[in-house]
Amino acid sequence: MGAVEGKVAFVTGAARGQGRSHAVRLAAEGADVIAVDLCAPVASAAAPAATLDDLDETVRLVEAAGGRIVARVADVRDHEAMTAAVAEGAEAFGTVDIVVANAGISTVDGLFTCTPEVWRETIDVNLTGVFNTLVAGVGPMVAAGAGGSVVLVSSIMGLRAAGGIPAYTAAKHGVVGLMRSAAHDLAPHRIRVNSVHPGNVRTPMIDNPGMHALFRPDLAAPTLDDMAAGLATINLLPEPWVEPEDVTEAVLWLASDAARFVTGVTLPVDLGATVK
């Protein structure tokens, strides 16, 4: 029997990277999956956007893992779209038991170059989008009265800070505040709320020209490998990054009954970066 057998999981940003990893593993452990992704560019994002083909590949991988999936293109900034996705998935599978608010963007605009447009877009996706996902998912959970688990994906920049990314850092700190407040509000309904804090994860969020240039401004066309030594200096353990599957292990644990008495915690998956 899988760790989340018979559960229904709502996962945002599921077309690739961490979101895809979470969706596929939850399916392999017995969950039905409601997967959403924007599959379109966000102007402020440093990384290229996921595509509809990416989302289709997530569907294929979930089904190959033995799971059922409802996948939809939707924007986490659109509260009605999140509510509609949950309702459509619930019609197919039943009430949501697990929410994984994973969708987000990386931005690399410093304090003196971050325009009001970049600030708003980053906060809208990385914080308001998490709020919309949370509220859309837990409404039916509360009504069903069977409890549940919510995992909000923040970042090490929700627990510490660095220069050069004020909007991203502010949004990810905001996710922690939202998590802690929601943990209080939802505890009487036996719904647990926690946050996961990845360090650098080997996905397009760090493997893109903007991030390459941020870490290696001395090179004309740096690559991910050129960043590796610099990234490793951030961490206690001598590695430059974790894989999406490493974050998924934390998400799965928090979603499962193995963490049935765990709520209100910030769980880093960061090679020790937050304590260095």
Summarize pLDDT for 227-242 with one digit per residue, the tens: 999 899 999 999 999 9
Q: Is residue 112 part of a domain?
A: yes
User: Per residue in 68-122, pLDDT tens?
Assistant: 999 999 999 999 999 999 999 999 999 999 999 999 999 888 999 999 999 999 9
SS3 of the chain: helix, strand, coil, percent, to 5: 45, 15, 40
Which residue type sits at 46?
A
Quote the number of domains for the chain: 1
Strands 98-101 and 148-153 come out as parallel
For residue 3, being part of any structural domain is answered with no
The answer to the question of residue 82 being in a domain is yes
Place of tokens 């859309």: 136
Least confident of 94-108, 214-228, 262-276: 214-228
The Cα 267–Cα 169 span in angstroms is 17
CA-wise closest residue to 12 among 112, 101, 124: 101
Just list the catalytic residues.
Answer: 168
Q: Six-digit token pair at 49? A: 């956007």
Q: What angle do CA 6, 97, 52 make, to 5 degrees?
A: 90
- 108 vs 141, residue with greater confidence: 141
Choose the weakest-confidence range: 122-126, 129-133, 143-147, 210-214: 210-214
Give this prediction's pTM: 0.96
Residue 72, beta-bridge partner list: 36
The CATH number given to whatever domain includes residue 155 is 3.40.50.720
Residue 194 domain-assigned (yes or no): yes
Could you tell me the residue range of the domain that residue 119 belongs to? 8-275
54 in any annotated domain:
yes
Query: What pLDDT, on a 0 to 100 scale, did the predictor assign at position 210?
Result: 79
